[in-house]
Amino acid sequence: MIRRFSRFACIDWSGAQGRWQRGIAVAQCAAGDAAPELVVPPGRHWSRAAVLDWLLDQAAADADLLVGIDFSPSLPFDPLDGYLPGVADVPRDAAGLWRAVDTACIADPHLAATSFVRRPDVARLFRIGAATGDRFAHPVDRNGRLRVAERHPDCGRPSSVFNLVGAAQVGLSSLTGMRVLHRLGGRIPVWPFDPAPAAGPLIVEVYTSIAAIAAGRPRGATKMRSIEARDRALAAPGIASVPIDGHGPIDDHRSDALLTAAWLRRVAGRAALWSPAALTRTLAATEGWTFGLS
């Protein structure tokens, strides 16, 4: 039986440097048709530590909450070479990877993850600024290795977590997110690494672009930077959320979080999304999966 949740949330994430992150937004909505709302940060902007605290609060309250996180919770995994080919002593499951990243970056402030990618043996696998590691390219993925879910046709044109160049890079977002997942200490299960619990909060990985496309945004133009564009997406068939009144500009991070929280509410009851055909036991323990890809 598919579990029913009473609340849904989306965290639009950022791996940028610094304590306060304009690129982080958190939105939530209740079951039904009410419009999603932004969660007000404890300061002027969110920090990664503040998001961690918010998640811990949800765990302590045993909240009936499904949370979508917009970062990759793992790295591509090769059965022979593991997560980081050529790097010694790398764990072979996601929880171990989260611990390794957090430990390597323990001196990095604000849950940053620069120390991990600066390790000489690890840097060989990344494209960092003008430097491309000699092990960055892969016979299958010339622009950096991809997870199995990232090769799904509905993913569009994903960027490898090993590419730390350009506006589309997701590597530092993912690595900083892994630090947060480790520090949760299992207090919130993360699907599919953990089974969905009968009660309490649950985390899933989401792509905000999938929600935007489901709401009628064109591929390649999924970002919404006006209230009018955001409200048209919220009112689309399949989202069917009450639009939020207002006019003028809004940043795409908050739009993404609002729309994806409402989208998650609409699709969370679809059994096929909890049992994707390509999701094997090995993938569930190592790479995970993006919720919304069947």
DSSP 104-144: HTTTSGGG--HHHHHSHHHHTTSEETTEE-TT---SS-TTS
Is 50 contained in some domain? yes
Burial of residue 156 (CB within 10 Å: 0-12, 13-18, 19+) is middle
Give the per-residue pLDDT at 216: 62
Give per-10-residue mean pLDDT for the chain (294 aa).
Answer: 92 92 94 89 95 98 98 94 91 96 97 95 92 85 88 85 78 95 98 96 94 69 64 66 56 86 94 96 97 94
Give the per-residue pLDDT at 247: 47
Name the CA dihedral angle for 238, 239, 240, 243, rounded to a multiple of 10 degrees: -150
CB 163 within 8 A of CB 127: yes
Give the per-residue pLDDT at 255: 84
Give yes or no: residues 56 and 178 share one domain: no
Is 248 contained in some domain? yes
CB 84 within 8 A of CB 90: yes
Give the per-residue pLDDT at 289: 98
Which of the listed residues 182, 197, 213 is the one where a domain comes to its end? 182
Question: Token digits for 75?
Answer: 């790295």
Give the per-residue pLDDT at 125: 94
Give the per-residue pLDDT at 35: 84
Number of domains in the chain: 2
Is 116 contained in some domain? yes
- Residue-range definition of the domain harbouring residue 170: 94-182
CB 265 within 8 A of CB 277: no
Q: Report which of 174, 71, 48, 165 is spatially closest to residue 116, judged by C-alpha positions.
A: 174
Is 17 contained in some domain? yes
CA distance 171 to 118: 13
CA distance 155 to 143: 16
